[in-house]
């Protein structure tokens, strides 16, 4: 099948991802032909991206800047894939020069460097690959210069810039720690309203990670729960409704909130470090604007023994997690609109270890069968098995000291007695049994009278 493709450099930008995207484009044209509306091709590409496990956004809000670096407005292409490739899909008889210029100009004046314009309705599949690298964009250089001057001005004048801060600190508050110790990571929005964050945490070779505690975290929903892989802890999460900081006793305003705690064991005394990289915090402004972020990494000295602290803290925790309220939500853009349970619990001592859930039918017959239903270990968000919402839902929060807190949501659409097939079956069975008994008695009476 013929194509109209732009000339690219030998060193192909985002090579592997580009090949995948081009493969999807060819597959869609071969499967669907050229006679459909744009929406059909968009839905099919979305399905292929999901099946491939790629991260993408439909109609993202991409900022457009002037040559001087001034923000001018927003551009919404059809797709943004892996935060790297812009995709514009068309179903026109032909592509005009104006459409080509438009995509080129959007690429030139945004932070992205690669875009595809695809037309499925032309006689031969048309796709054009646009490249405009950031090192060629004058506004990027001007913006970097502006940021550098602003930072220098603030440093000289002492004026504070409102920005988010991630702080890594020993839970003891001292730079000298025993061989078993805990690192507290806190988020301070510094007056901003933020709703998402992500990052990676690495640590020196003389440290061994023994536990990740995200109990009582300011993060409401973990998109990627903090986990260790190849020596690096990766995480990403959101704070529904936004987060400005914690309010607590003794504070006159907002203060930093706990994001997570990391427990380590050192192989010996001496210097050690815990560092965060690739960190981003996004503002709760509807656009996902990155907040100006400062990260305070940690260099410390391991002084000696003291490994009983963690065990002692767990042994002293006799209190269950705090009360919490699970919520049932449905969003057409998430899990295909299925009813989903969202929950978050906090524990002020040892922290939440995990959650368990079970769905209990409201019909009396099913309750008898399922009253000893097994709890299922899970995480938030949880897609409900009962999409009819006829079951009650019980969520159990268990902290690291094995204390439990159970919250129950009653069924939204409980089964009424006359809608319960089991009850009708029992009633019909009783009626049939009654008829049989009546007929047996009647037959016996007639037999006795005949004799």
Residue 107 pLDDT more than 90? no
CATH number at residue 21: 3.40.1350
Query: What is the number of structural domains in the chain?
Result: 4
Residue 98 pLDDT more than 80? yes
Specify if 115 maps to a domain: yes
Specify if 403 maps to a domain: yes
- Give the model's pLDDT for residue 120: 93
177 and 290 assigned to the same domain: yes
Q: What are the tens digits of pLDDT across the range 122-155?
A: 888 898 989 888 777 766 655 554 444 333 433 3
Mean pLDDT of 205-212: 88
Mean pLDDT of 268-293: 84
185 and 312 assigned to the same domain: yes
Residue 327 pLDDT more than 60? yes
Contacts of 309 (CB under 8 A, 6+ apart): 178, 180, 181, 182
In the chain, what is the straight-line distance between the N-terminal and C-terminal CA atoms, in Å? 97
169 and 312 assigned to the same domain: yes
The Cα–Cα gap between 433 and 213 comes to: 60
198 and 293 assigned to the same domain: yes
Specify if 159 maps to a domain: no
302 and 172 assigned to the same domain: yes
Specify if 150 maps to a domain: no
- Give the model's pLDDT for residue 135: 74
Residue identified by tokens 């025993």 is 178
Expressed as residue numbers, the domain containing 64 is 15-138
Mean pLDDT of 95-120: 88
The Cα–Cα gap between 13 and 17 comes to: 9
Specify if 156 maps to a domain: no
CATH number at residue 240: 2.60.40.680
Specify if 3 maps to a domain: no
Specify if 158 maps to a domain: no
The proportion of the chain whose per-residue pLDDT surpasses 90, expressed as a percent, equals: 13
250 and 291 assigned to the same domain: yes
* Phi, psi at 448, each rounded to 5°: -70, -40
435 and 407 assigned to the same domain: no
Residue 301 pLDDT more than 70? yes
441 and 360 assigned to the same domain: no
This prediction's pTM:
0.40
108 and 220 assigned to the same domain: no
Mean pLDDT of the chain, nearest integer? 77
- Give the model's pLDDT for residue 313: 54
User: Of 183, 318, 158, 352, nearest to 264 (Cα)?
Assistant: 183
300 and 373 assigned to the same domain: no
Q: Which of 138, 155, 174 is the last residue of a domain?
A: 138
Residue 201 pLDDT more than 70? yes
- Give the model's pLDDT for residue 158: 37
The Cα–Cα gap between 45 and 55 comes to: 13
67 and 130 assigned to the same domain: yes
Q: Please report, for residues 67, 108, 141, 209, 400, the alpha-carbon distance to residue 136 in angstroms, rounded to integers and kept in the order given.
A: 11, 9, 9, 43, 53
Half-sphere exposure of 8 (CA within 13 A, CB side): 19
38 and 76 assigned to the same domain: yes
Residue 44 pLDDT more than 90? yes
Which tokens is 345 given?
Answer: 């619990």
Q: What are the tens digits of pLDDT across the range 362-399?
A: 655 544 444 556 788 887 778 888 888 888 899 998 88
The Cα–Cα gap between 42 and 59 comes to: 11
- Could you tell me if 90 and 121 are in contact, meaning their C-beta atoms sit under 8 angstroms apart? yes
């Amino acid at each position: 099948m013929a194509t109209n493709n732009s000339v690219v450099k030998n060193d192909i930008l985002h090579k592997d991802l580009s090949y995948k995207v081009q493969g999807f484009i060819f597959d869609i044209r071969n499967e669907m032909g050229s006679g459909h509306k744009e929406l059909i091709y968009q839905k099919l590409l979305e399905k292929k991206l999901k099946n491939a496990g790629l991260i993408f956004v439909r109609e993202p809000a991409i900022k457009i800047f002037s040559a001087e670096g001034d923000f001018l407005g927003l551009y919404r292409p059809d797709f943004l894939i892996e935060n790297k490739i812009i995709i514009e899909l068309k179903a026109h008889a032909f592509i005009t020069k104006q459409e080509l210029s438009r995509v080129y100009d959007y690429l030139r004046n945004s932070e992205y460097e690669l875009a595809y314009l695809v037309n499925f309705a032309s006689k031969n599949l048309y796709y054009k690959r646009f490249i405009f690298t950031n090192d060629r964009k004058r506004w990027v250089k001007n913006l970097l210069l502006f940021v550098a001057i602003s930072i220098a001005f603030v440093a000289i004048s002492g004026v504070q810039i409102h920005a988010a801060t991630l702080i890594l600190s020993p839970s003891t508050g001292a730079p000298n720690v025993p061989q078993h110790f805990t690192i507290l990571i806190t988020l301070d929005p510094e007056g901003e309203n933020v709703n998402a964050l992500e990052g990676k945490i690495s640590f020196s070779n003389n440290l061994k990670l023994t536990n990740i505690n995200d109990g009582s975290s300011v993060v409401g929903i973990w998109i990627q729960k903090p986990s260790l892989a190849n020596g690096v802890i990766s995480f990403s999460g959101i704070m529904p409704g936004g987060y400005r900081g914690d309010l607590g006793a003794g504070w006159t305003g907002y203060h930093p909130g706990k994001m997570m705690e990391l427990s380590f064991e050192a192989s010996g005394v001496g210097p050690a470090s815990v560092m965060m990289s690739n960190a981003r915090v996004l503002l709760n402004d509807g656009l996902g604007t990155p907040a100006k972020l400062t990260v305070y990494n940690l260099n410390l000295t391991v002084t000696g023994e003291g490994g009983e602290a963690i065990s002692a803290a767990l042994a002293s925790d006799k209190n269950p997690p705090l009360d919490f309220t699970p919520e049932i939500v449905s969003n057409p853009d998430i899990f295909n609109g299925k009813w989903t349970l969202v929950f978050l619990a906090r524990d002020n001592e040892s922290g939440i270890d995990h959650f368990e859930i079970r769905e209990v039918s409201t019909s009396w017959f099913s309750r008898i069968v399922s009253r000893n239903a097994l709890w299922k270990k899970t995480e938030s968000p949880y897609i409900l098995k009962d999409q009819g919402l006829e079951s009650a839902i019980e969520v159990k929060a268990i902290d690291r000291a094995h204390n439990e807190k159970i919250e129950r949501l009653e069924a939204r659409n409980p089964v009424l007695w006359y809608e319960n097939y089991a009850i009708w079956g029992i009633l019909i069975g009783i009626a049939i049994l009654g008829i049989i008994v009546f007929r047996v008695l009647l037959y016996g009476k007639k037999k006795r009278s005949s004799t």
